[in-house]
Structure 1
Amino acid sequence: MRAHRRAWLAAACLLVLTACAPGPLEQPPVPPGPIDPASFRGQSLDYVYFTDGPDEAATRAQLARFERETGARVNLQIVPFGDLEQTLQGRINSGQPPGVARVNNWRPYADALVDLKGYFGAHYPDRFVEGTALASQTADGRMPAVPSDLSMNGPLVNVDAFARAGVPVPPVDKPWTWDELVAAATKVQRANRMESAIAIDKSGHRLSSVLSAYGTTMMGPDGRSGMDPEKAGRALDMLNRLARSGGLLSDFWLESGSRYKGANELFLAQRVPVYLSGNWQVGQLAKTAKFNWAAAPNACAERCGGFPGGKYLIVFSGAPNPALGAYFADWMNSAEAQRALDEQAFWLPTRKDLLAAGIRYPAREADMAVFLAEVNRTPRDTYLANGSPVFDVSAKLLVREFGRLLVGGQDVPDAVRNVQAGVAELLAKVGS
């Protein structure tokens, strides 16, 4: 292992150990019967929240309805996403945790959360999409989080540019292969004299979509590095060849180190005809794009589907009334409330019944239907990988090693070995 990777991993492991080390969950008292919401009248609940944009208005509308129904008060406390973990850890350490928080990763707070099965029963996870339910539970079957909204990676295409080039966009049930996507995007790029063929957010999460298409993820459900080196090598080799041909902009990937950077500006400026991002872009593009665009199904290689993400509601055991927090988290993810939030915020549902029935979005419904179709097509192991306690740090490692590949600092086998070894070391540090 090279010295630069040892130093980087040492810092990363320290971050994982301090932020993601799981602890014992405090069990809430099991009530003798259903929770009586009338008992919450006059009580209050702190709800720590970060917003992605249009979800704030939708959330406030549901909070007002919750208050009318229960007589309880919800104190919505919005914090920047970058300050979320520090804020929550500070409140936990001071003995004043909020009742509920919205997070993208529940594991840093695991020892401060209640097991929601204690309130809602052993079959509570069954109402949610299998992958999100699995990612909300511990290895021993406890459920510290409610999956509240789902995100899905996928490509967005410049329909006008495709039409000018005479290249069809595939229907939702007949996705491209990755070879077909590269060929189509390259033809459209050249016909329209665009700068490059495909833009991909500078994100290990987005790179994980490509790994999954080629049949692998960075870590497996057994807690060990599950990345198949041959399959990962084919995925990274394809991307590396695309970059060397000018089909993927290397400079975009190299100009900000390992930090995340979205490629939406490249797509909006019509510098590329295909943009690999996700459903959260739909609302913004609907307002800002000056050309016709559409979502397309994820390209396939060995398998199809995208790579999932999402948010969770977590309930703190040290709050004044954990039962109120549990009821609120469940209420916000009832069919009625989750449907309203999804419709207004362009979220994807985590409930099985809503996924089956579909969501009536106020705009771009056909594009959102493409992402909805990807939820069941996306392989089960991707949900487990995204829920790993080391995924976030591993994703940064993947970006780092891919960047070294692009500048010629290593070859594909070296990049694969470094990612595989790094993930295994991170997992070993947290005892997974």
Structure 2
Amino acid sequence: MTHTFDRRTVLKAGLGVGAGLMAGGRVSPVRAQSPVRLTMAVWGGKAEIDAYNQVIAKYQAINPNVTFRLDVLPSGQFYQQIDTKLAGRQAPDLFRATYQQVGRYAMNKAAVDLSKYLDADYGGAFMPSVWSAVSYQGKPYALPHHTDTFALFYNIDLLERAGVQVPTSLDQAWTWDQFIKVSRLLKEKSIGSYPFAMGWTANAVHRWMIFLYQHGGRMLSEDMKSPQINSPAGIETIAWTQNWFKEGLVPPSTSLKTAEPSQNLFANGTIPMMLNGNWQIPFVEQQAKFRWGVTYLPRDVAMADDLGGTCMAVSRDSKNPDVAADFIKFMVNEENMRDYVSSAQFLPVRKSLVESGVKFPLRSEEMKVFIEQTKTIPEHLVNTVIMPTWGKFASKLADELDLAFTSGQSPEETAKNIEAHVKSILLSA
């Protein structure tokens, strides 16, 4: 597609951000008068990278003095590489981050406070949950770009062979017991090498919290000041997910510390079901040679899902933070957010787009399932995973759950170990 830009287009897009405030509290525009080179670090599949390149090209068409180097890093090593570069004061100007990571980068001043580049009411255009997630002590340290959530992908051909019918509405979602009965039936009939897998590669342990909240549990108390994992609900949730591995319902290679992409196993027919995110739709659509669909997550005493998605931050090492902030603001404006989420199959985080809806080029009916699932994300879960200390909780949670899944560590010991670690972090915070 060819884009043409004139002065009215530039003004409508709201490109300008900058160091000073104009009369009325509006941020004065910034334009690179001399050549500026920005580096931007991301991870992602082909659809995501293509969408990043498209918005970069649009920005450069308006700002020819700005050039970009897009560094695509492995998702499993992304934060390790960013942290190493930050330690050496050589971090990229811009870097992608999940909402769960913003707090620690803000607390350590590794990300730039963006408030001076934004109008005072700028955050009001976004969903409250994601604006809260990018804010630390009342200041935004990243701008929300999109969100995502999990649902259950299924191979229509294989489930029909087993005589399995999937739920067609949220209130009819399988219970945990029903989901396990279906999985055991698939295993009994040798339909697929394993019945299902969970998409939590790259230590995405926050996805496990879905099941904890579904079972009525939580990681922290209501006031966020004490651990709650070592409770009947916590222990039983650990035991339920551990049994996936004990019973051979999931491939051993799909635990938290392994790197087996569940989407590959689903697309090649190894597993007939997978719990994964909406961003996998382009990959599955291209790779799968069978009929497939998406239904709702299994539920227990409640339905719950997780806050996914990513934002973009400016690093403290950027020599042109004003131009970098200008680009992010351009990237998340209404037009460009719509284009990105539509082409990469994500969900928007601007209120206007949430209310008006986005037309998706692929699997619009399946995307409706993910949109419905976003309505089941518990506020307490969001508040937990956006804490600056979440990364310290998450590393221990991943270690201990992996021991339970792969080494047979008891659910009781697993919960006790997590509790002790969380308590020590809370006391030292």
- TM normalised by structure 1 equals 0.81
- Asked if 2 retains the 8 angstrom alpha-carbon contact of 1:200 and 1:276, the reply is yes
Q: CA RMSD in A?
A: 3.0
- Asked if 1 retains the 8 angstrom alpha-carbon contact of 2:144 and 2:312, the reply is yes
Cross-structure match for 1:46: 38
Q: Distance in 2 between matches of 1:206 and 1:148?
A: 19
Q: CA deviation at 1:62?
A: 1.3
Q: Distance in 2 between matches of 1:252 and 1:90?
A: 28
Matched, 1:106 2:94: no
- Asked if 2 retains the 8 angstrom alpha-carbon contact of 1:164 and 1:192, the reply is no
Unaligned runs of 5+ in 2: 1-17
Q: Distance in 1 between matches of 2:198 and 2:241?
A: 10
Moved over 6 A (4+): none
Q: How many residues align?
A: 399
Q: CA deviation at 1:233?
A: 1.8
Residue 246 of structure 2, aligned match among 244, 247, 264: 244
Q: Distance in 2 between matches of 1:112 and 1:401?
A: 28
Evaluate the alpha carbon distance shift between residue 131 and residue 412 of structure 1 in structure 2; reply closer, same or farther with a 3 A threshold: same
Cross-structure match for 2:195: 197
- Structure 1 residues 13-412: aligned runs within 5 Å: 31-32=21-22, 33-37=25-29, 39-53=31-45, 54-81=47-74, 84-85=78-79, 88-89=82-83, 92=86, 98-104=92-98, 105-110=101-106, 111-138=109-136, 140-174=137-171, 175-191=173-189, 193-201=191-199, 203=203, 204-219=205-220, 222=224, 224-227=226-229, 229-249=231-251, 251-252=252-253, 258-316=257-315, 319-406=318-405, 409-412=408-411
Q: Distance in 2 between matches of 1:112 and 1:265?
A: 35
Evaluate the alpha carbon distance shift between residue 206 and residue 88 of structure 1 in structure 2; reply closer, same or farther with a 3 A threshold: closer
Q: CA deviation at 1:37?
A: 4.0
Letter of the 2:424 counterpart: E
Q: CA deviation at 1:95?
A: 5.7
Q: Distance in 1 between matches of 2:166 and 2:425?
A: 40
Q: CA deviation at 1:407?
A: 5.7
- Asked if 2 retains the 8 angstrom alpha-carbon contact of 1:172 and 1:373, the reply is no
Evaluate the alpha carbon distance shift between residue 65 and residue 242 of structure 1 in structure 2; reply closer, same or farther with a 3 A threshold: closer
Q: Distance in 1 between matches of 2:232 and 2:119?
A: 43
Secondary structure at the counterpart of residue 76 of structure 1: strand
Letter of the 2:233 counterpart: K
Q: CA deviation at 1:372?
A: 2.0
- Structure 1, residues 361-410: CA drift from partner, whole Å, max 9, x if none? 22122222221221222112222233233434534433432343346744
Evaluate the alpha carbon distance shift between residue 78 and residue 310 of structure 1 in structure 2; reply closer, same or farther with a 3 A threshold: same
- TM normalised by structure 2 equals 0.82
Q: CA deviation at 1:31?
A: 1.6
- Structure 1, residues 203-250: CA drift from partner, whole Å, max 9, x if none? 52332222122133434672543436221122122233444333344x
Secondary structure at the counterpart of residue 149 of structure 2: strand
Deviates most, 377-386 or 220-229: 220-229
Q: CA deviation at 1:44?
A: 2.2
- Asked if 2 retains the 8 angstrom alpha-carbon contact of 1:35 and 1:327, the reply is no
Deviates most, 52-61 or 71-80: 71-80
Unaligned runs of 5+ in 1: 1-27
